């Protein structure tokens, strides 16, 4: 499925953004990289970055997570090649795996708007506008983080902000193995059903195309030049 060519343009570009396309990266490596880059951003040693990548199969446990939201036992997860890792992001339990676009913005919100709710809303909007480019009408659900399509969740958000510098971010299901979400209660919510671009469009979607569209939308929404 080809994306539409139009991407919403903003009238003002303020700062530079370095976008890194990292391919498939183990979660532990990406976690350490984020922490290092966030420290460097706090110290002013680097500028704003957006990391775009995928992870091998992994269940991550956020700061507010309850372990009972992992429904499968450790032996089954090991057999399936799915690791379980603790992390310092907000939120509960989620799944990452191949075919899922993960984005980790390393941004200094002092240079933009030091407001956590605004930042999360902008992340959601960047995903909503990206999906519009694939003719998918996505929305928010009141009282819940993330992005939804006709009652199904297509993207999750979990962030950490220290001294107004962000890390962690979002996960958008592109060609994700959705059966792996049945091993958890996504984000700790009972009855949540997950979907993906592939499921909605009934065909595989090129990850590089989604990354290209997302990078343009993100740069526009956050008024940065990628």
Q: Is residue 8 part of a domain?
A: no
Is 157 annotated as a binding-site member? yes
Q: Which domain holds residue 218?
A: 15-225
Is 92 annotated as a binding-site member? yes
Q: Is residue 6 part of a domain?
A: no
Is 96 annotated as a binding-site member? yes
pLDDT tens figures, 195-213:
999 999 999 999 999 999 9
pLDDT tens figures, 62-80:
887 788 889 899 999 999 9
Q: Is residue 118 part of a domain?
A: yes
| pTM score, whole prediction | 0.90
Q: Which alpha helices (H) appear in 63-206, and where do they start and end? A: 74-80, 116-132, 197-201
40 is catalytic: no
Which one of 187, 194, 207, 224 is the catalytic residue?
Answer: 187
| SS3 category, 3 | coil
pLDDT tens figures, 82-107:
999 988 887 788 899 999 999 999 99
* Closest to 172 in 3D by CA, of 100, 98, 221: 100
pLDDT tens figures, 94-140:
899 999 999 999 999 999 999 999 999 999 999 999 999 999 999 99
Q: Is residue 215 part of a domain?
A: yes
Residue 169 CB contacts under 8 Å (≥ 6 apart), including other chains:
102, 103, 104, 105, 123, 157, 158, 159
Q: How far apart are CA 96 and CA 98, in angstroms?
A: 7
Q: How far apart are CA 156 and CA 31, in angstroms?
A: 17
What is the domain-level CATH number for residue 112?
3.30.930.10
Domain count, the chain: 1
Q: Is residue 1 part of a domain?
A: no
Q: Is 27 left (phi over 0), alpha (psi -120 to 50) or beta?
A: alpha
Q: What is the pLDDT of residue 9?
A: 38
Is 171 annotated as a binding-site member? yes
Q: Is residue 76 part of a domain?
A: yes
Q: Is residue 123 part of a domain?
A: yes
Q: Is residue 9 part of a domain?
A: no
Residue 135 CB contacts under 8 Å (≥ 6 apart), including other chains:
1, 4
């Amino acid at each position: 499925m080809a994306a539409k060519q139009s991407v919403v343009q903003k009238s003002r570009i303020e700062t530079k953004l370095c976008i890194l396309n990292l391919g498939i990266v183990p979660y532990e490596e990406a976690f350490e990289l984020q922490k290092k880059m966030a420290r460097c951003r706090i110290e002013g040693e680097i500028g704003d970055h957006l990391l775009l990548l995928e992870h091998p199969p992994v269940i991550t446990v956020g700061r507010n997570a309850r372990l009972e939201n992992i429904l499968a036992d450790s032996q089954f997860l090991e057999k399936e090649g799915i690791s379980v890792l603790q992390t310092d992001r907000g939120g509960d339990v989620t799944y990452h795996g191949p075919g899922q676009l993960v984005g980790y913005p390393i941004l200094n919100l002092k240079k933009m708007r030091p407001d956590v709710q605004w930042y999360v809303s902008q992340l959601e909007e960047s995903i909503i506008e990206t999906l519009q480019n694939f003719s998918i009408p996505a929305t928010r659900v009141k009282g819940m983080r993330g992005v939804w399509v006709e009652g199904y969740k297509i993207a999750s958000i979990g962030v950490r902000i220290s001294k107004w510098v962000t890390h962690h971010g979002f996960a958008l299901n592109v060609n994700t193995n959705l059966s792996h979400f049945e091993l958890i209660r996504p984000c700790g919510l009972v009855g949540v059903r997950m979907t993906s671009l592939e499921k909605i469009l009934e065909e595989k979607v090129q990850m590089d195309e989604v990354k290209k569209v997302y990078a343009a939308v993100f740069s526009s929404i956050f008024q940065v030049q990628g």
